[in-house]
Structure 1
Amino acid sequence: MAELKLADSKVRELKDVCKKFDYDKSELINVLHQAQSIFGYLPAEVQEVVADELKVNVAHVYGVVTFYSFFTMIPKGRHPVSVCMGTACYVRGAEKVLDEFKHLLNVKVGETTPDGKFSLSSLRCVGACGLAPVVTIGEKVYGRVAAEDVKNILADYS
């Protein structure tokens, strides 16, 4: 696999983040959160920069990235779609909603559409059980979603 070439401006921004946290290794999670905001995900090359700047082992950075579900090493789409599969959502038809997203986007859970527009994931609980089934697209929350609603929801992002 070829090495990813990181944009110099983004690398400088990441190094500034490390400096802002005084290169403190105990701030690794905060640095990684900001790194993911800058790059959209945390490929090995970003992890190496963080490890270099904070003077920690790359394996330690990788361990943190893979331990916390918030972090991703796979690029997300511009519109990340998450379908809640918690108990309340599941019993109210979330699986059918997820199946419809998979069908219309032609991706599996964990994948991104070839145009980079959407990525699809499922999660355990959004904390909006009264609105079950719940879908989030970016920061926007959709409640009481039925499979028939998916096409119209996606149309909002065309």
Structure 2
Amino acid sequence: MERTNYKQEINMTQPLMNRINELMSHYPADKKKSALLPILHEVQDAHENWLSAELMDKVAEILEILPIEVYEVVSFYSMYNQRPIGKFMFEFCHTSPCCLKGTEDLMDYTCGKLGVKVGEITSDGLFEVKGVECLGACGYAPMMQLGDFYKENLTEDKIDQLIADCRDDKIILHDK
């Protein structure tokens, strides 16, 4: 796992701790680690959608596991962020089916529209473009994930509309 100099305030509020305890209650006491993925989602959501090393250490402490066990999970899955990200993360599937349908060109188009490269955040902090592994919607390629939702059968016009809708705060990111 790459350690960074990004600073993050750790704010384990009582509602967050209640949710973590509820998630752990779904598993036997000696299998608390089984709650790791949903706990990471909750903690990330409560901390500006990213997880610092110190925050991952806190999760390890709560679950009574080694920090490396948390780092392994966070570094493996693209749904966990190890640094601050743009408010609207355009996560394009870049595996073969989507590439055959033009996802690479759409990523380039999106980066050009936003004035960034893949992995960069726009100067206003709103957007970031990222390539991710298979999102499991090959029949709807090219596609991407935006928050909790898939955007399918993408075209340049659809990308333009998504960018406009994000700027106009018309996009819901989370299904909660």
**Rounded Cα–Cα distance in structure 1 between residues aligned with 2:87 and 2:38:** 22
State how 1:110-121 maps to structure 2 within 5 Å: 110-121=119-130
Distance 2:146 2:78 in 1: 17
1:23-71: CA deviation from partner (whole Å, max 9, x where unpaired)? 7234222321221222212112211221222222223222222133322
Aligned residues: 156
Which residue identity does 1:156 align to in structure 2? D
Paired residues for 1:11-30 under 5 Å: 11-20=13-22, 21-22=24-25, 24-30=32-38
For the structure 1 residues 91 and 109, does the alpha-carbon distance in structure 2 shift closer, same or farther, using more than 3 Å as the test?
Answer: same
Runs of at least 4 residues off by over 4 Å: none
Out of 9, 15, 20, the residue aligned to residue 5 of structure 1 is: 9
**Could you tell me whether the CA contact under 8 Å between 1:41 and 1:76 is conserved in 2?**
yes
Alignment of 1:5-154 (within 5 A): 5-7=9-11, 10-20=12-22, 21-22=24-25, 24-39=32-47, 40-147=49-156, 149-154=158-163
Alpha carbons of structure 1 residues 44 and 141: separation in structure 2 relative to 1, 3 Å: same
Check the 8 A contact 1:18/1:50 in 2, yes or no.
Answer: no
Judged with a 3 Å threshold, the aligned counterparts in structure 2 of structure 1 residues 113 and 131 are, in CA distance, closer, same or farther, namely same
In structure 1, the residue matched to 2:171 is none
Q: Residue type of the partner of 2:136?
A: G
> Structure 1 counterpart of 2:14, which letter?
R
TM-score, normalising length: structure 1: 0.79
Q: Is the 8 A contact 2:6 2:52 kept in 1?
A: no
CA distance in 2, matches of 1:31, 1:68: 14
Instruction: Report if aligned partners of 1:83, 1:98 keep a CA contact under 8 Å in 2.
Output: yes
Unmatched 5+ residue regions in structure 1? none
User: How far is 1:98 from its partner?
Assistant: 0.4
> What is the DSSP-based 3-state SS (H/G/I as helix, E as strand, rest coil) of the residue aligned with 1:157?
helix
Structure 2 regions of 5+ residues with no counterpart?
Answer: 168-176
Give the superposed CA RMSD: 2.5
**Secondary structure in 1 matching 2:145:** strand
